[in-house]
Amino acid sequence: MKTNTKENVNENIIYEKSLREEIGKHRDKAFDIINKVGGLMLLDNESLAPLNEVARFYNATRDTIKMLIRNNKKEFQKTGVKVVSGRDVINSVGKNNLPTEIEQKNGYKLITIGERSAKIANGRNTMLTKDSIIRVGMMLRDSEVAREFRDQATEILKRADVNTIVEVKDDQLRKKAELYDKMTDGVPKMAQESLLTTIEHYQTTVRELERKAEQELQEERKITQDAKAARKKAEENTKLFEQLATETGEKLESVVKDLEKARRKSDLFDRYIDSGLNMTLQEFCKRYLDGIKTKSFIAWLQSDGILYENRNTNAVYRTRKGFEQWLINVPVKQYNNAMKTTLMITPSGVVKLAQKYVGDPRLNEPWIEFGN
């Protein structure tokens, strides 16, 4: 598996404080990178920048920068974040030797230095030092400007490593020279040459051991980086699986509901299409509408334009034109042999009404009444 070393270092700078501290030791070089990336307008003798200007430079929101500072309070307390009044900012800007323009606006002042401008509130202003501006670039994840800064900052880390190695080697050579002078003082030349050969052999052996140690360290780092990449990939796959499982479950649930609805409609058709029996509204609600109350179903029929809102003078429900074959008023003998007209559903009406109302969303409304 190939690993992009530069990209790994870029990510590591975000998470590893030791790398940020090392880059912070080379503030001037780091700020040179910021000037090359896009430039930033500084106030107060070129040492402070307003929070709004820093947010603009990194193409981030003001709230994003403020949250980053709050979440890493200790680091930014060390690098420097100041709250300064608008008047003090103006006084500090006046000390600069650069050509400066100050315009009074509604609620703020617009300061222009050279080709760049920044808004300064009349009240309090959050100002970041150079060190804090650099720290934002090292920790801001979703910013192309910050990412470019970190890419170039890796060169600072490389140069710092080389300088450290050179300093250590110089010190080691100086100490070895002093030791050699002491050891060879008064020793015959032949013995000195023999001793020098021994020392050179020793140095060669030490260099080989150092080379192997460095190689093992690089291999260990690569294993660690590969493990991080594998863990990240596994997390992404887990999230994708959970998303697919959720979507699949929702689709299956919808399919099951559609199949059940189709089965119930098919059962209705098979049972009543050839029957000459009429069905009461109460029986229809009990069999096919989960037992909702008859008065609720009648209200549906009225609101959907199948029945008139008002009954006739005999208190009988009236069917609107076009639905006469669905619902009819049928004389029914009562227990006292009296005849009473009752609204009933025809066989074809059972099929039509079932097709229309089985699975109706109103059945799931919490205030619907069930039971007759």
Domain of residue 288, residue span: 272-364
Of 49, 75, 46, 47, which Cα lies nearest the Cα of 62? Answer: 49
Which residues lie across from 125 on neighbouring strands? 84
What would the pLDDT profile of 216-243 be if each residue is shown by its tens digit? 778 877 887 887 788 888 888 888 877 8
Residues 98 and 210 grouped into a single domain: no
Residue 238 in any domain: the answer is: no
Q: Are 108 and 115 in contact (CB under 8 A)?
A: no
Quote the mean pLDDT of the chain: 78
The tokens describing 76, both together, are 């930014």
Is 115's pLDDT higher than 60?
yes
Residues 12 and 129 grouped into a single domain: yes
Residues 38 and 100 grouped into a single domain: yes
Residue 257 in any domain: the answer is: no
pLDDT at 304: 92
Residues 64 and 114 grouped into a single domain: yes
Which residues lie across from 104 on neighbouring strands? 109
pLDDT at 330: 83
Task: Report the range of poorest mean pLDDT among 9-18, 113-122, 152-161.
Answer: 152-161
What would the pLDDT profile of 263-285 be if each residue is shown by its tens digit? 665 554 444 444 457 899 889 99
Q: What is d(CA 202, CA 125) in angstroms, rounded to the nearest whole number?
A: 62
Residues 213 and 137 grouped into a single domain: no
Of 348, 15, 31, 209, which Cα lies nearest the Cα of 23? Answer: 31
pLDDT at 2: 40
What is 237-270 written as a DSSP string?
HHHHHHHHHHHHHHHHHHHHHHHHHHHHHHHHHH
Residues 192 and 144 grouped into a single domain: no
Residues 80 and 138 grouped into a single domain: yes
Q: Are 52 and 62 in contact (CB under 8 A)?
A: yes
Residues 29 and 145 grouped into a single domain: yes
> Where is the domain boundary, 113, 133, 155?
155
Residues 141 and 63 grouped into a single domain: yes
SS3 at position 286: helix
> Where is the domain boundary, 137, 155, 173?
155
Q: What is d(CA 214, CA 206) in angstroms, rounded to the nearest whole number?
A: 12
With cut-offs at 50, 70 and 90, classify the pLDDT of residue 44: low
Residue 243 in any domain: the answer is: no
Q: What is d(CA 154, CA 9) in angstroms, rounded to the nearest whole number?
A: 7
Of 254, 274, 271, 256, which Cα lies nearest the Cα of 354? Answer: 271
Residues 143 and 68 grouped into a single domain: yes
> Dihedral of CA 122/124/129/130: which sign?
negative
Residues 201 and 333 grouped into a single domain: no
Number of structural domains the chain divides into: 3
> Where is the domain boundary, 135, 155, 175?
155
Q: Are 124 and 81 in contact (CB under 8 A)?
A: no
In one letter, which amino acid is 260? Answer: E
With cut-offs at 50, 70 and 90, classify the pLDDT of residue 119: confident
Residue 103 in any domain: the answer is: yes
Residue 144 in any domain: the answer is: yes
Q: What is d(CA 12, CA 300) in angstroms, rounded to the nearest whole number?
A: 65
Q: Are 351 and 268 in contact (CB under 8 A)?
A: yes
Counting residues of the chain whose pLDDT is more than 90, the rounded percentage is 11
pLDDT at 1: 38
Q: What is d(CA 107, CA 86) in angstroms, rounded to the nearest whole number?
A: 11
With cut-offs at 50, 70 and 90, classify the pLDDT of residue 346: very high
Residue 337 in any domain: the answer is: yes
Backbone torsions φ then ψ of 60, nearest 5 degrees: -130, 170
Residue 286 in any domain: the answer is: yes
- Where is 329: in which H helix or E strand? strand 327-333
Residues 127 and 211 grouped into a single domain: no
Mean pLDDT of 287-295: 88
Q: Are 266 and 273 in contact (CB under 8 A)?
A: no
pLDDT at 187: 62
Residue 239 in any domain: the answer is: no
Q: What is d(CA 40, CA 47) in angstroms, rounded to the nearest whole number?
A: 11
